[in-house]
Structure 1
């Protein structure tokens, strides 16, 4: 596929002041901005955003598909599974029965997002977005009070032999043959969020809003539909529409959504910068995060050369 061109976003990136900060991915940037401990308790915060804050140590236990490719085992996340709510609940119930004597508690608020409360010390894990598409050897949970590698092996055996996966195989769907444990931690008692409002559907961002005591609202269809931010207040908007097609390896869907975002959100950034006194675009990448600051005066930098978005990656 030819290099994607997004005219509106390219225009404002050309006129903005650009900088880079360490940290890979949106989760890492949000955690750093909210001064969360290291490693950030991704699971506990996201669960607070999906339901309510829960006591105890929590991890994500997300359904995944492991595929053997010659001498390595690659991980594919739930964006490739099209898992139904019923399938997710039945499979999670099988894991709950398997680990009932180990005091693990599974919670499934959404088909693609599973959580587990664990006893004892927590292991060191690898975030899902850093494991997708990679060989999982060397990325498995390490340490803690429980034998997590043994747990993963037992979980894989139960899931692989489950009737749900037998039916999925007949239907030509990939098997839910493992879970990925990550995001360990307990819910922080309070979060100092540097925003006065969060506009997001993504659970981690909504969890930060709840724990930080600021309102969280759903993402509207266009930037024009977003209620203006009051003077001297900051709004965080999380647009995660591109995550699923990226992880599915669907460049055509990715490009279609990217062009739609360019028209519905990025074309009006200049007006927002003028009305609000400025804004920042946060573009998480594979190695670091690009921060594009657009002040009212920078809107007039019309002679700057526009470059493709991939140039800034």
Structure 2
């Protein structure tokens, strides 16, 4: 049964933000950092950031089972993989993963693509599920362990074949992926996407294998997020969850995580900065960037008018 650790009263409200380099010198975030106190570096990247905030038995993050359980509620006692719609670009040395997930699909389009792929997975003893347009899953047969496959953030922009399982045990996965790519390359929906100026969906990215963890722990009291995997971890840990709305952000408090790491810096400025400024006046903020840098800003830090220079 999932449970969370008691949240220490001194834990500040944490803002999880994009890489620091994405914030231009003129961005108001830079002015806030100039008055804040630097902290020890944290984990870098999306998955490492999740692992730092949530403890999962065994250390591996079974993203497939977690997200399937959140969306469909049927992940228990089965091995799952994420099978995210993807775009790969062939080049002289192989093929590069250029996009994965968030491919501007609706459910009807996702189902049309998946219908063509289901027999391939069935022949391999697996079941392909379209849990949502952006989140597809593969259910593995009883007794089969999920392979170790790279997460999208680890493989994006790189030769995808460098991230596939090797050897005899990996051969079936390489053959399966090749069959998937042949079918998707020929699918008429991709011709329509090219006419609309959209990238083709010519592969699936298989990753995040494993079974549903029974005991997820965290020191967080709650999260504000639209991220499916983060939300699924929070639910398994038994903590409070709010979607990212203006009301939820304005009411964010100590011990919570406000997840903004998936947003462009410009959108944070345009849509969320007024609320962040108000939060900074009321309570300590731990400003955690996906690139690992962290600063602690306390309300009285606004009086540090003598601090200048860029960060």
- Per the alignment, residue 279 of structure 1 pairs with 285
Instruction: State the SS of the aligned residue for 2:24.
Output: coil
- Per the alignment, residue 270 of structure 1 pairs with 280
Structure 1 residues 200 and 80: alpha-carbon distance in aligned structure 2, compared to 1, 3 A threshold: closer
Gaps of 5+ in 2: 1-21
- Per the alignment, residue 107 of structure 1 pairs with 129
1:187 aligns with 2:208: no
Contact 1:125–1:142 at 8 Å: present in 2 too?
no
- Per the alignment, residue 155 of structure 1 pairs with 180
Q: TM-score, normalised by structure 2?
A: 0.81
Rounded to whole Å, the distance in 1 between the matches of 2:89 and 2:170 is 28
RMSD across aligned positions (CA): 2.7
Gaps of 5+ in 1: 243-253, 309-313
Rounded to whole Å, the distance in 1 between the matches of 2:218 and 2:181 is 38
Alignment of 1:115-194 (within 5 A): 115-119=137-141, 120-142=144-166, 147-194=172-219
- Per the alignment, residue 71 of structure 1 pairs with 93
Moved more, 175-184 or 136-145: 136-145
Q: TM-score, normalised by structure 1?
A: 0.80
1:172 shift after superposition: 4.0
- More relative contact order in 1 or in 2 (CA 8 Å, sep 6+)? 2
Rounded to whole Å, the distance in 1 between the matches of 2:119 and 2:26 is 49
1:49 shift after superposition: 3.1
Rounded to whole Å, the distance in 1 between the matches of 2:160 and 2:279 is 40
Rounded to whole Å, the distance in 2 between the matches of 1:80 and 1:214 is 27
Of 52, 55, 64, the residue aligned with 1:32 is 52
Contact 1:125–1:184 at 8 Å: present in 2 too?
yes
Of 247, 269, 273, the residue aligned with 1:259 is 269
1:295 shift after superposition: 3.3
Rounded to whole Å, the distance in 2 between the matches of 1:137 and 1:257 is 35
**Structure 1 runs, 4 residues or longer, greater than 4 Å off:** 142-146
Rounded to whole Å, the distance in 2 between the matches of 1:236 and 1:95 is 38
| Count of matched residue pairs | 285
Rounded to whole Å, the distance in 1 between the matches of 2:40 and 2:239 is 27
1:146 shift after superposition: 7.1
